[in-house]
Amino acid sequence: MPPAATDRSYGELVAIRPPRRGLPKPARPALRDLPREELGRFMAEHLPGPAFRTTQIFEWLHRHRVPDFDAMTNIGRADRVRLHEHASLPALTVDAVQRSRDGTRKLRLLTPDGHAIESVLIPNDGRGLTQCVSSMVGCSLTCRFCATATLGFERNLATWEIVDQVYRAQDFLASEAAEQGARYVARITNLVFMGMGEPLHNYGQVKRALSILTDERGAAIAGRRITVSTSGLVPAIERFGREGLGREVGLAISLNASTDEVRDRVMPINTRWNIAALLQAVRGMPTPKRRRVTFEYVLLAEVNDEPADARRLGRLLRDVCGGGAGHLNVIPWNPHPGAPFRRPSEDRVRTFVQACRRAGLEVHVRTPRGDDIAAACGQLALEGSTPSAASATMEGP
């Protein structure tokens, strides 16, 4: 059963928490915060010159991932000095790496102000890797089954802190390949915003990070290979649709219940925007066919895993998908210490999935990856905040 409102580890029963602090404001702006257009404006102000120099610098920052301005070898010395004077190039540091038997790697990264965030690399079935990125330190939401929620909400991540998770992972993969004498470096082909935090509640930074990460002169990750996952912040979903982001990257909705009564309890955000309001917002998304919205469903034993839940989901999602098959990702809950839930047995998961299919849904079971490395969202960062609890399998970078 969901915890009682007095369960201290989950904080107060509120739908949305304010951050403990705002974004750090560096004395000189972090250059990796700027999408290419904004970098152009920065250059016009501080280093006026030909337009192609903006592209050169953007490539140094986001394709070559240079650690400092002096590594920009085709930029003249005087200009590099000006960059030092007017901008900064902070970076995250890889603080710990966990490797799972199934090939999943989990990185714990530290922000300059000493907060731990995490990012997970998951091998794809075919080629390459999917990276799961974080959008906040902690989370503004209070989902009862989620390890990150127990951390509280420290602050949003800056744009550069979102994109640097990808660059640190790329550098990590390069050094791993070099160590193993491999001829190829594994590529990050897909991104999911399913790490710590609610990406649509850090909308501005996430939007800029998407612009940078999809830029053909930078990491050039295709928009159709990126998914932003939300707990259901209705006004932000509407904005996402209105501003056209919905046509560029995919949207996933964490539904996690088939009735308001259960969703209110497991995801207090539902007391602000209930299932009907959420699905209405999804219906209004101008999503092209190939970009259809997916739904996620964390399966919690004896909370939301009855055949009756499957039948209700079938009705709810058929309606949203205009008669087409609703698409549901079923995720058996990843246990973490102290949480008052259980993962359903494999049998029970199978029965639930069959009932969903009978109800007309297209279902994928997201087999828990990296089970052996505390892969539940937020767990590694949680270990970071209590060093004595750090797992024995943890290594230095």
Tokens of 347: 């049998």
Residue 229 is a binding residue for ligand SAH (CB under 6 A): yes
Query: Which runs of consecutive H residues, i.e. helices, occur in 181-268?
Result: 203-214, 234-242, 245-248, 260-266
Note the helical H segments in 250-299. Answer: 260-266, 275-283
Closer residue to ligand SAH (CB): 156 or 254: 254
CA dist 110 and 96 (Å) reads 9
- How many Cα atoms occupy the beta-carbon half-sphere of 296 within 13 Å? 20
By residue count, the chain amounts to 397
Cβ burial, residue 248 (10 Å; 0-12/13-18/19+) = middle
Q: Is 248 a catalytic residue?
A: no
Out of 161, 377, 383, 395, which one is annotated catalytic?
Answer: 377
Binding of ligand SAH at residue 145 (CB under 6 A)?
yes
160 to 199: interface string for ligand SAH, x by CB under 6 A: ----------------------------------x---x-
| Minimum separation from the CB atom of position 198 to ligand SAH (A) | 4
* Residue 118 is a catalytic residue: yes
Q: Which of 157, 173, 234, 298 binds ligand SAH (CB under 6 A)?
A: 298
Nearest approach in angstroms of CB 266 to ligand SAH is 9
Place of tokens 């992972």: 169
Catalytic residue among 118, 161, 296, 383: 118
The interface region with ligand SAH, picked from 65-73, 102-110, 142-150, 319-327 by CB under 6 A, is 142-150
376 binds ligand SAH per the rule CB under 6 A: yes
Lay out the site mask for ligand SAH across 62-101 (x = CB under 6 A, - = otherwise).
----------------------------------------
Strands (E), the chain: 93-99, 105-110, 116-123, 129-132, 136-138, 153-156, 188-193, 226-230, 250-254, 294-299, 327-332, 362-365
Query: Which residue, 120 or 212, is less far from ligand SAH as judged by CB?
Result: 120
Q: How many helices (H) and strands (E) does the chain have?
A: 12, 12
Per CB under 6 A, the list member of 202, 230, 258, 270 interacting with ligand SAH is 230
Q: Does 118 bind ligand SAH (CB under 6 A)?
A: no
**Residue 257 DSSP class:** -
Separation of alpha carbons 233 and 197, rounded Å: 13
What are the φ and ψ backbone dihedral angles of 317, each rounded to 5 degrees? -80, -30
The Cα–Cα gap between 205 and 200 comes to 9
Helix axes 234-242, 203-214, angle to 10 degrees: 40
281 touches ligand SAH (CB under 6 A): no
Size of the residue set binding ligand SAH (CB under 6 A): 18
Span near ligand SAH by CB under 6 A; candidates 10-18, 61-69, 214-222, 330-338:
330-338
By annotation, the residues acting in catalysis are: 118, 377
Q: Which residues bind ligand SAH (CB under 6 A)?
A: 145-147, 194, 198, 229-231, 254, 256, 296, 298, 331, 333-334, 336, 376-377
